[in-house]
């Protein structure tokens, strides 16, 4: 299934994308697409529905973040060796973890706001893993049992805030709109191998990132099990698993960063696309 949330910001409704690309309303079956919806019994109930029996959503509504009420937004840094190299950093011996504020989450096609004082806002297409069942001290072999599905994430970053202002990376990762997720959550059964997915990103029609999840240093199952050794993972938590090379920071000889008035387009094989405009902070 492809589950989504549609409608005005803060008033999104639960939906399902049918085989024809139409949005079907799920409001009569679940209150939202969130952690509670990912309970095995609830997902099983939704899978049994005939999409044609659900109300058709007319027009072209805004698509919201594909998961509501996210508790934790955990990111993995430097998880592609060639991205670590372009960033001038060592390949990590263990996953590098950091948090992104949940207030950064926005819809997949919402405008991206360049923060005040920013000179180095950057892009990062990433595979998002959505937790479906609590994970605490789990083994790697059991990790997939705790995953509800996958989505596209743009892990936007302000590199000066991240690397030149002291402290932890969270400052450069958490500006409002720096966490577009979606357009939909694709349930685990429709993604047989998350380590065989092409992912890409373009700015103003120029393709900067073109990678595949098979080149991750640490795979999805390892990451989920690893994080569960340090904190419990709850239904609805999102893990952003790292980005392939081609970020603005790594462009030689002069890095390229986003400015207001540009457009981004990014996607992951089988998981949909995002399209965003950059706008100045008010």
DSSP for the chain? Answer: -EEEEESSTT--EEEEE-TTS-EEE-TTT-S-SSGGGGSHHHHHHHHTS-GGGSPBPPS-PPB--SSSS---EEEEES-BHHHHHHTT-PPPSS-EEEE--GGGEE-TTSPEEEPTT-S-EE--EEEEEEE-S-BSS--GGGGGGGEEEEEEEE--EEHHHHHSSSS-THHHH-STT-EEB-S-EEEGGG-S-TTS-EEEEEETTEEEEEEEGGGBSS-HHHHHHHHTTTS-B-TT-EEE----S--GGG-SSS---B-TT-EEEEEETTTEEEEEEEEE--
Tens digit of pLDDT per residue, the chain (282 long)? 999 999 999 999 999 999 999 999 999 999 999 999 999 999 999 999 999 999 999 999 999 999 999 999 999 998 998 787 777 878 889 999 999 999 999 999 999 999 999 999 999 999 999 999 999 999 999 999 999 999 999 999 999 999 999 888 999 999 999 999 999 999 999 999 999 999 999 999 999 999 999 999 999 999 999 999 999 999 999 999 999 999 999 999 999 999 999 999 999 999 999 999 999 998
| Domains assigned to the chain | 2-53 (no CATH), 73-280 (3.90.850.10)
């Amino acid at each position: 299934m492809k589950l989504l949330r549609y409608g005005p910001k803060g008033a999104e409704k639960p939906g399902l994308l049918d085989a024809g690309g139409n949005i079907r309303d799920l409001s009569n079956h679940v209150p939202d697409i969130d952690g509670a919806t990912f309970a095995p019994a609830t997902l099983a109930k939704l899978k049994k529905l005939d999409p044609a029996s659900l109300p058709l959503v007319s027009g072209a509504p805004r698509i919201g973040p594909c998961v509501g009420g996210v508790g934790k937004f955990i990111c993995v840094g430097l998880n592609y060796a060639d991205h670590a190299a372009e960033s001038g950093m060592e390949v990590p011996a263990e996953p590098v973890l950091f948090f992104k504020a949940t207030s950064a989450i926005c819809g997949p096609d919402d405008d991206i706001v360049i923060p005040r004082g920013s000179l180095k806002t950057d892009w990062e297409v990433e595979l998002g893993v959505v937790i479906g069942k609590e994970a605490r001290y789990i083994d790697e072999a059991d990790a997939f049992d705790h995953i509800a599905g996958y989505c596209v994430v743009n892990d936007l970053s302000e590199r000066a805030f991240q690397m030149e202002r002291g402290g932890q990376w969270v400052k450069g990762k958490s500006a409002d709109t720096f966490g577009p997720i979606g357009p939909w959550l694709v349930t685990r059964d429709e993604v047989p191998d998350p380590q065989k997915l092409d992912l890409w990103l373009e700015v103003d029609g120029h393709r900067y990132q073109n990678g595949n999840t098979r080149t991750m240093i640490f795979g999805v199952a390892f990451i989920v099990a690893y994080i569960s050794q340090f904190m419990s993972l709850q239904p609805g938590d999102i893990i952003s698993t790292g980005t392939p090379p081609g970020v603005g920071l790594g462009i030689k000889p002069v890095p390229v960063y986003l400015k207001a008035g540009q457009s981004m387009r990014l996607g992951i094989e089988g998981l949909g696309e995002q399209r965003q405009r950059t706008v100045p902070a008010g």
